[in-house]
Amino acid sequence: MFNNLSIGNIQSKNDNISFEDKSKIQKDNNLKLVIAGHVDHGKSTVIGRLLADTNSLPEGKLEQVKEKCRRNSKPFEYAFLLDALKDEQAQGITIDSARIFFNTNHRKYIILDAPGHIEFLKNMVTGAARAEAALLVIDADEGVQENSRRHAYMLSMLGIKQIAVLVNKMDLIAYNYSSYQKIEREFRAFLKKIDINPLAFIPVSGMKGDNIASKSENMTWYQGKTVLEQLDSFENDKLTIDKAFRMPVQDIYKFTKGGDNRRIVAGSVISGELKIGDEVVFYPSGKKSTVKSIEGFNEPHQKSVAVGKATGITLKEQIYITRGELLSKVGEEKPECTSRVRVSIFWLGKKPMEKGKEYYLKLGTVKTKVRLEELERVIDASNLNQEENRSEIGRHDVAECVLKMDKAIAFDLAGQLEETSRFVIVDDFEIAGGGIIQEALSDSQSWVREKVIRRNYKWQKSRIARDERAEKYNQKPSLIIISGQEDVGKKPTAKALEKMLFDDGKIVYFLGIGNLLYGVDADIKNGANNHREEHFRRLAEVSNLMLDAGAILIVTAVELNTSDLDLIKTAVNSHDMEIVWLGDKISKDIDCDLHITDYKSDQDSANRIKELLQERGIIFKPW
């Protein structure tokens, strides 16, 4: 019916500010505002009234909608101005969070209209998460409802600090002060429990226009701001330049077209500031380098880059890093690095979150498999009731729990830096939940990771880059691990492969386990608790040295499993490794790059590994 209503790009028609003054408004930022509340408590009416009373509607629109209502013998409602889509017209509810643009004399606003119906909580979250301030609407006649509380809880978890509560439909309770007071008292008590300190409580009537754009004569007992005055007193989100520098690595670009040799680390700066010459560390790998340049297109040369900017930098020392690492600055506060975390989570998925099931966690630019390890308590966001013996997190529940990820990630804790402590959970291709990290817990690899981070941090860079060595030696440094059950021909294969590559002129070394056990490992007591782990850690560290020297290193290991491999990967880049399994069946939970099921001879197996290396570009493949 009104689906052609265009509510965007509206300018006040009797706005008498001069062109020059308007450009000042442009310099002030737009404010993103969300309007939340229980279904039918009058969010759309309040917005409709705001648009109408500030002359923000297209010319004739109000009259047109009124006329249509008259012709259809339907009472006019301000909400009709908004519900732009047919679906909404049919059901009379806001399905999704629409964006509505409007101006006051003070600045521009984008209103995100968040649906009140519980079925659309995910849409409410979508709208609210981007807001800088929120209006929470409560029906004076119906009082505080389930979603009034639930939405407040969500706003608090989403990190929205500026909240004003509108007690709407005051006309229905004859503008009665004591009834209003009762609602205010009840809701304030609830908000206090979830750490929200509302900036204002305003009694209004969207339908009649009381206290929306002008002071109501029906409620002389109210001395506070009108809704419009409250909007203009909200502040824009402050960018956190005074905190530690953080930039999740979005990608590494090297576009060689036209001789462009820049290798650019791209990402958006989340906090702090970075200058050319600053020493930087990437977490969780702990790799270190120095900022060589700050890159940009169609902009003057920059010496520094700060919070909010989508940017790119190049590094002095070339190091191998990938998307998902968190770029930080040497000398500033380090992020946390672990694969186990205690979190607060809210669940939006149709299917509940279950223990043991595999999900994906996305935080910043990192994406990793995750499982619900322990469910400590589930909280009903609508009444704050807690349950401690639940086995799953249901739709619209809030919970405190422990998550275990497949690999360590870098993050900050909630309360320290919001942007790097927030994550979402993906279930079956859909974002099904979101949460904030409350505590970093230790995991089985913590001890190794800390050592590796320290090693990388202290690492003395040679003047010869890895790429240079690779070019000179005509090979990519690589760790080849040959695994399988006892006596399947691992060692003979390894030795045959070493000889074959050596004869081809490659820099290659076979590291016998015995050589390591009785040398580097001589101080580890056999049978000590962490014997196997410490052995693998040292193997990985020795491998790392050999790889840094540019060699192809061949080792053998009996029945390598995923946790052994994870340990090695903590110290050696997984992209520098090839895992080969000998024998008809892979007896461990491990992903191999090559599985040789039919062992014929050490020479044959070695040949097949050589082909793998050629295929992967580790060594050159002749025509």
Partner 1 sequence: MDHLQKLENRSIHILREAYSQFNNLCMLWSIGKDSTVMLWLARKAFFGHVPLPLVHIDTNYQIPEMIEHRDNLAMEWELDMIYGENGQALETKSTFPDGNLNRIQCCKQLKSEALRNTLNGSWPRYRINHDSGKYEVEKDSEPYTGVIVGVRADEEGSRSKERYFSPRDQNNDWDIGEQPPEFWDQYKTDFAPGTHVRIHPLLDWTELDIWEYIEREKIPMVSLYFDQGDGKRYRSLGCAPCTSPVESDAKNVKDIIEELKTGKFSNIAERSGREQDKEDGGGLEELRKDGYM
**Of 157 and 204, which has the nearer Cβ to partner 1?**
157
Q: Which is nearer to partner 1, 31 or 219 (CB)?
A: 31
Can you give the C-alpha Rg of the chain in angstroms?
A: 31
Separation of alpha carbons 152 and 236, rounded Å: 20
Q: How far apart are CA 417 and CA 243, in angstroms?
A: 8
Which residue number, 126 or 478, has a Cβ lying nearer to partner 1? 126
Q: Which residues pair with 139 in a beta bridge?
A: 168
Buried b / exposed e along 313-332 (16+ C-beta atoms within 10 A)? bbbeeebebebbbbbbbeeb
Are the beta carbons of 53 and 209 closer than 8 angstroms?
A: yes
Cβ nearer to partner 1, comparing 167 with 313: 313
Please tell me the distance from the alpha carbon of residue 51 to that of residue 62, in angstroms, as a whole number: 10
> Do residues 603 and 499 touch, judged by C-beta distance below 8 A?
no
Residue 487: what are its φ and ψ, rounded to 5°?
Answer: 55, 45
Query: Within 10 A of 423 (CB to CB), how many other CB atoms are there?
Result: 25
CB of 98 to partner 1, least distance (A): 5
Of residues 286 and 312, the one with the C-beta less far from partner 1: 312
Q: Which is nearer to partner 1, 252 or 330 (CB)?
A: 252
CB of 269 to partner 1, least distance (A): 9
Least separation in angstroms between CB 260 and partner 1? 7
Shortest spacing between CB 151 and partner 1, in angstroms: 14
Q: Which helix (H) or strand (E) holds 61?
A: helix 61-71
CB of 213 to partner 1, least distance (A): 19
CB 608 within 8 A of CB 602: no
**Token digits for 445?**
């690899």
Asked whether 54 and 163 are in contact (CB, 8 A), the reply is: no
Q: Minimum distance between the CB of residue 262 and partner 1, rounded to whole angstroms? A: 7
* Closest listed residue to residue 369, CA positions, set 387, 385, 356, 381: 356
Nearest to 33 by CA among 104, 101, 134, 116: 134
Numbers of helices and strands, H then E, in the chain: 15, 29
Residue closer to partner 1, measured from CB, 306 or 590: 306
Distances (CA, A) of 196 to 149, 175, 400, 402: 11, 26, 19, 25
**Closest Cα partner for 339 from 286, 408, 285?**
408
> Measured from the CB of residue 169, what is the shortest distance to partner 1 in angstroms?
26
Give me the least distance between CB of 302 and partner 1, in Å please. 13
Task: Output the CA–CA distances (angstroms, integers) from residue 575 to 3, 132, 406, 540, in the order listed.
Answer: 53, 41, 17, 14
In whole angstroms, the minimum distance from the beta carbon of 85 to partner 1 comes to 6
Taking the least distance from each CB to partner 1, the nearer of 20 and 217 is 20
Please list, in sequence order, all residues whose beta carbon lies within 8 angstroms of the beta carbon of residue 218, skipping any fewer than 6 positions away: 170, 171, 175, 205, 208, 210
Query: CB-based burial of residue 73 (10 Å sphere; 0-12 exposed, 13-18 middle, 19+ buried)?
Result: exposed
Name which of 357 and 600 has its Cβ closer to partner 1: 357
Give the separation between CA 149 and CA 151, rounded to whole angstroms. 5
Instruction: Please give the C-alpha separations between residue 439 and each of 248, 307, 322, 432, 573, in angstroms, as whole numbers.
Output: 20, 25, 25, 22, 27
Eight-state DSSP code of residue 575? G
Shortest distance in whole angstroms from residue 246 CB to partner 1:
13
Per-residue CA distances from 210 to 103, 548, 552 (Å):
20, 73, 78
Using the minimum distance from each CB to partner 1, give the nearer residue, 265 or 378. Answer: 265
Q: How far is the CB of 559 from partner 1 (least distance, A)?
A: 33
Which C-beta is closer to partner 1: that of 343 or that of 554? Answer: 343
Residue 309 or 329: the one with the smaller Cβ distance to partner 1 is 309
Give the shortest CB-348-to-partner 1 separation in angstroms: 6
Our CB check for partner 1 shows the closer of 309 and 334 to be 309
> Whose CA is closest to 134, among 115, 104, 114?
114
Q: How far is the CB of 281 from partner 1 (least distance, A)?
A: 22
State the Cα torsion 147-153-159-162 to the nearest 10°: 70
Least distance to partner 1, CB of residue 381, Å = 16
Q: Closer CB to partner 1, residue 219 or residue 436? A: 436
